[in-house]
């Protein structure tokens, strides 16, 4: 496709740019499968070049998300049922396959103890397009133990619907990120992060339909099926606290907690723990655990009554009460190929269990994912 060719040309320019003092390029491959009949495959290629005594760095990457799914959303959404194919049994649904392509570009420049940066991304698929911009500033305070970061973001999305060229809905998002990092000693570092955003526009799924009455399922005994309808605005706030502790020269541990609250009524808590071990120079083994829990949106109901006065309705499992547990193991290593050329590689395997206590038609989802990456440093 044309946008892919343009991006690969840009990577070639990065890799051979005149006066570049440091270059790196890498590829990675991510695969995820889950028990809700969904598979995601994501290849990614990235490159970076530094100039002006490494004070200016330009980065670029291209990523594709190719997913195939016959998930609960597809099996119960009246709007996307498809004719049965020869040999297909009643109640079976033909899986949907789609691809999303994303291009990321960024530049950073160091001026004394301040680093300035700007970035842009474009993401597109057959029914959703997004442009995003960000500006960022990082200041290192006197003493070199305290760092402050500020970032402003903006994205403009256009939501479409496959098979309906007249359907086009905008969504605009504005974001603010503040980060305070403090080094307490050579063995202890801590960070506090605030993330806030304001979104306005179309925030429903153009494919999800909600069953009213009966068992709440459009493919079940619902009396009526209507399009999902979310509020037009959403304010999100999240505060993160995290710290890392070193134990000698070969081991470290990290702990983190995130609190999230929005004006839709969703409140969540995330706890993270990580242990890293360096068995040899240039090699790291990491074990990470994450627990997540959230409340439902104020307007969410597992089964809505058959009434005409309901303003906001949802069939989005991400707005239902839920919790999850994730465990991941990763290995990072490197090797000097020739003088000035280093190969870095990493492999990670993770498993996640999602539990939905109040979502009709789906109680649990189990997912397994793996990532393989290679990076060349020149």
What residues form DSSP beta bridges with 50? 22, 57
Structure tokens at 141: 């305070």
Per-residue pLDDT of 140-171, as tens digits, reads 999 889 999 999 999 999 999 988 999 999 99
Domain with 233 in it: 2-377
Asked if pLDDT for residue 20 goes beyond 90, the answer is: no
- 294, HSE (Cβ side, Cα atoms, 13 Å): 27
> Is residue 2's pLDDT more than 50?
no
Specify the pLDDT at position 77: 58
Beta strands in the chain (DSSP E): 22-34, 38-51, 56-69, 96-111, 114-125, 128-140, 146-161, 164-185, 188-201, 209-212, 224-227, 233-247, 251-262, 267-280, 283-294, 322-338, 341-355, 364-377
Task: Give the separation between CA 55 and CA 18, rounded to whole angstroms.
Answer: 16
pLDDT band at 93 (very low <50, low <70, confident <90, very high): low
pLDDT value at residue 339 = 81
Task: Note the pTM of the prediction, 2 decimals.
Answer: 0.88
Query: Is the predicted pLDDT of residue 9 greater than 80, yes or no?
Result: no
Confidence of residue 235 (pLDDT cuts 50, 70, 90): very high
What is the pLDDT, as a whole number, of residue 352? Answer: 98
Q: Note the pLDDT tens digit of each residue in 40-63.
A: 999 999 999 998 888 999 999 999
Alpha carbons 302 and 361: distance in angstroms, whole number: 10
CATH of residue 311's domain is 2.40.160
What would the two tokens of residue 216 be? 């709440």
Q: What is the pLDDT of residue 84?
A: 45
Flag whether pLDDT at 313 surpasses 60.
yes
Domain count of the fold of the chain: 1
């Amino acid at each position: 496709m044309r946008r892919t060719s343009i991006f690969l040309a840009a990577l070639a320019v990065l890799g051979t740019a005149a006066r570049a003092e440091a270059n790196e390029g890498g590829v990675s491959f991510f695969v995820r499968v889950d028990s809700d009949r969904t598979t995601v495959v994501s290849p990614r290629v990235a490159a970076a070049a530094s100039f002006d005594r490494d004070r200016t760095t330009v980065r670029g990457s291209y990523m594709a998300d190719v997913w195939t799914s016959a998930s609960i959303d597809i099996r119960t959404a009246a709007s996307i049922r498809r004719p049965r194919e020869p040999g297909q049994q009643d109640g079976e649904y033909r899986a949907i396959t789609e691809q999303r392509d994303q291009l990321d570009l960024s530049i950073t420049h160091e001026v004394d103890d301040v680093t300035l940066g700007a970035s842009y991304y474009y993401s597109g698929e057959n029914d959703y397009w997004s442009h995003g911009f960000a500006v960022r500033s990082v200041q290192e305070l006197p003493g070199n133990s305290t760092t402050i970061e500020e970032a402003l973001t903006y994205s403009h999305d256009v939501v479409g619907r496959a098979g309906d060229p007249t359907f086009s809905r905008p969504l605009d998002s504005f974001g603010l990120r503040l980060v305070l990092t403090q080094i307490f000693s050579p063995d202890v570092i801590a960070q506090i992060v605030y993330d806030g955003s304001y979104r306005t526009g179309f925030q429903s799924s153009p494919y999800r339909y909600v069953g009213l009455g009966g068992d709440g399922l459009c493919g079940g005994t619902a009396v009526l099926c209507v399009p999902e309808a979310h509020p037009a605005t959403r304010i999100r706030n999240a505060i993160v606290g995290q710290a890392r502790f070193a134990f000698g020269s070969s081991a470290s541990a990290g702990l983190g907690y995130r609190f999230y609250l929005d004006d839709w009524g969703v409140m969540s808590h995330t706890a993270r723990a990580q242990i890293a071990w360096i068995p040899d120079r240039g090699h790291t083994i990491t074990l990470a655990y994450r627990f997540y829990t959230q409340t439902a949106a104020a307007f969410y109901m597992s089964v809505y009554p058959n009434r005409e006065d309901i303003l906001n309705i949802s069939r989005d499992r991400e707005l239902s009460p839920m919790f999850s547990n994730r465990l991941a193991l990763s290995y990072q290593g490197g090797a000097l190929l020739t003088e000035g050329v280093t190969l870095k590689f990493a492999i990670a395997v993770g498993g996640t269990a999602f539990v939905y206590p109040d979502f009709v038609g789906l109680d649990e989802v189990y997912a397994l994912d793996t990532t393989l990456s290679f990076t060349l440093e020149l």
